[in-house]
Chains A and B, each alone.
Chain A
Amino acid sequence: MGWDRVIGQERVKELLRRTIAGRKIAHAFLFTGGEGVGKEAMAIEFARVLTCAAQGSDACGSCASCRKADVLQHPNIRLIVPLPVGKAEKAGDDPLKGLTEDQITAVQEQFAQKAQNPYHRITIPKANFIKVNSIRDIRREAALSVVEGGKRVFIVPPADAMNAEASNSLLKTLEEPPSDSVFVLVTSQKEQLLQTILSRCQQVQFDPLGEEDIRRALVERYSVEGDQASLIARLANGSFTAALELLSSDLRAERQGVVQFLRIVLSGQRVALASAIENIIKGGDRVATTRWLRMLHVWLRDALVLREHGEDGVLNVDHSTDLKSFVAKFPRADLVAAMESVERSIALVDKNVYLPLVLTGLAIDLRRSLSST
Chain B
Amino acid sequence: MKFIVTSSELQKALTKISGVVPSKSTLPILENILFDLTKNTLKLSATDLEVSMSATIEVKGAEDGKIAVPAKRLMETIRALPDIQLVFHADLSANRIKMITETGEYVLMGEASDEFPTIPQFKAEEKLSLSGDLLRRMINRMIFAVSTDELRPAMTGMLLQVRETELRAVVTDGHRLVRINYTGIGKMKLKKDIIVPAKAMSLVSRSAEEGENTMAVDTTHVQFTFGNTTLTSRVIEEAYPNYEAVIPLDNDKKLTVSRDLLLAAVRRVALYSSSTTHQIRCTLKKNELRVSAEDMDFGGEAKEKVVCDYSAEDMEIGFNSTYLIDILSHIDSDEVEFRLSSAVRAAIVTPAKQKPNEDLLMLVMPMRLNV
Give chain A's interface residues, CB within 8 Å of chain B.
64, 67-68, 71, 73, 75, 79, 92, 94, 96-97, 99, 104, 107-108, 111-112, 136, 139-140, 142-148, 172, 179
Query: 28 interchain pairs (CB within 8 A)?
Result: A67-B115, A71-B115, A73-B28, A75-B27, A92-B149, A96-B24, A96-B25, A97-B24, A104-B24, A108-B26, A112-B28, A139-B151, A139-B153, A140-B150, A142-B153, A143-B236, A143-B237, A143-B238, A144-B50, A144-B197, A144-B236, A145-B234, A145-B236, A146-B220, A147-B49, A148-B117, A148-B118, A179-B237
Would you list which residues of chain B between 271 and 319 have a CB under 8 Å from chain A?
A: none
B26 adjacent to A96 (CB under 8 Å): yes
User: Closest CB of chain B to A199's CB: distance in Å?
Assistant: 21
Residues of B within 8 A of A104 (CB): 24
Among B25, B27, B50, B221, the most chain A Cβ lie within 10 Å of the Cβ of: B27
A75, B236: Cα distance in complex, Å? 17
A94 adjacent to B24 (CB under 8 Å): yes
A68 adjacent to B156 (CB under 8 Å): no
Q: Does B235 contact A (CB under 8 A)?
A: yes
A99, B26: Cα distance in complex, Å? 12
A144 adjacent to B27 (CB under 8 Å): no
Residue interface mask B196-210, A partner, CB < 8 A = 1:
010000000000000
B25 adjacent to A144 (CB under 8 Å): no
Residues of B within 8 A of A79 (CB): 26
Q: Does B120 contact A (CB under 8 A)?
A: yes
Among A92, A108, A143, A172, the most chain B Cβ lie within 10 Å of the Cβ of: A143
B237 adjacent to A145 (CB under 8 Å): yes
A145 adjacent to B153 (CB under 8 Å): no
Residues of B within 8 A of A99 (CB): 24
A145 adjacent to B28 (CB under 8 Å): no
Ranked nearest first, the 8 interchain pairs of A and B with the lowest CB-CB distance are A143-B153, A145-B220, A96-B24, A144-B234, A139-B150, A145-B234, A136-B150, A75-B49
Among A64, A99, A112, A179, the most chain B Cβ lie within 10 Å of the Cβ of: A64
Checking B25, B117, B118, B151 against A172 with a beta-carbon cut-off of 8 angstroms, the contacting residue is: B151
User: Closest CB of chain B to A221's CB: distance in Å?
Assistant: 24
A97, B238: Cα distance in complex, Å? 26
Residues of A within 8 A of B197 (CB): 144
Residues of B within 8 A of A97 (CB): 24
A99, B221: Cα distance in complex, Å? 31
User: Closest CB of chain A to B28's CB: distance in Å?
Assistant: 5
Residue interface mask B114-150, A partner, CB < 8 A = 1:
1101101000000000000000000000000000111
Residue count of chain B within 8 Å CB distance of chain A: 29
Residues of A within 8 A of B25 (CB): 96
What residue of chain A has the Cβ atom nearest to residue B27's Cβ?
Answer: A73
B28 adjacent to A108 (CB under 8 Å): yes
B29 adjacent to A73 (CB under 8 Å): yes
Number of A-B contacts (CB under 8 A): 70
Give chain B's interface residues, CB within 8 Å of chain A.
24-29, 49-50, 114-115, 117-118, 120, 148-151, 153-154, 156, 197, 219-221, 234-238
A64, B26: Cα distance in complex, Å? 19
A172, B152: Cα distance in complex, Å? 11
User: Closest CB of chain A to B45's CB: distance in Å?
Assistant: 14
20 other A-B residue contacts (CB within 8 Å) besides A68-B117, A73-B27, A145-B220:
A64-B118, A71-B115, A75-B49, A92-B149, A92-B150, A104-B24, A107-B26, A108-B28, A139-B151, A139-B153, A140-B153, A143-B153, A143-B154, A144-B197, A144-B237, A145-B234, A145-B237, A147-B234, A148-B118, A172-B151
What residue of chain A has the Cβ atom nearest to residue B148's Cβ?
Answer: A92
Residues of B within 8 A of A68 (CB): 114-115, 117
User: Closest CB of chain B to A83's CB: distance in Å?
Assistant: 9
User: Closest CB of chain B to A208's CB: distance in Å?
Assistant: 31
Among B26, B27, B28, B154, the most chain A Cβ lie within 10 Å of the Cβ of: B26
A140 adjacent to B237 (CB under 8 Å): no
A144, B154: Cα distance in complex, Å? 9
What residue of chain A has the Cβ atom nearest to residue B149's Cβ?
Answer: A92
User: Closest CB of chain B to A281's CB: distance in Å?
Assistant: 34
A146, B117: Cα distance in complex, Å? 12
B234 adjacent to A75 (CB under 8 Å): no
Among B149, B153, B235, the most chain A Cβ lie within 10 Å of the Cβ of: B153
User: Closest CB of chain B to A62's CB: distance in Å?
Assistant: 11
A145 adjacent to B221 (CB under 8 Å): yes
Among B27, B117, B150, B154, the most chain A Cβ lie within 10 Å of the Cβ of: B150
A145, B222: Cα distance in complex, Å? 11
User: Closest CB of chain A to B263's CB: distance in Å?
Assistant: 28
Among A67, A140, A144, A172, the most chain B Cβ lie within 10 Å of the Cβ of: A144
Residues of A within 8 A of B26 (CB): 79, 96, 107-108, 111
Known: A139-B151, A139-B153. A147 touches B120 (CB 8 A): yes
A144 adjacent to B24 (CB under 8 Å): no
Residues of A within 8 A of B151 (CB): 139, 172
A104, B24: Cα distance in complex, Å? 7
Known: A94-B24, A107-B26. A144 touches B235 (CB 8 A): yes
Residues of B within 8 A of A108 (CB): 26, 28
Residues of B within 8 A of A112 (CB): 28
Residues of A within 8 A of B148 (CB): 92
A34, B154: Cα distance in complex, Å? 40
Known: A96-B26, A108-B26, A179-B237. A140 touches B156 (CB 8 A): yes
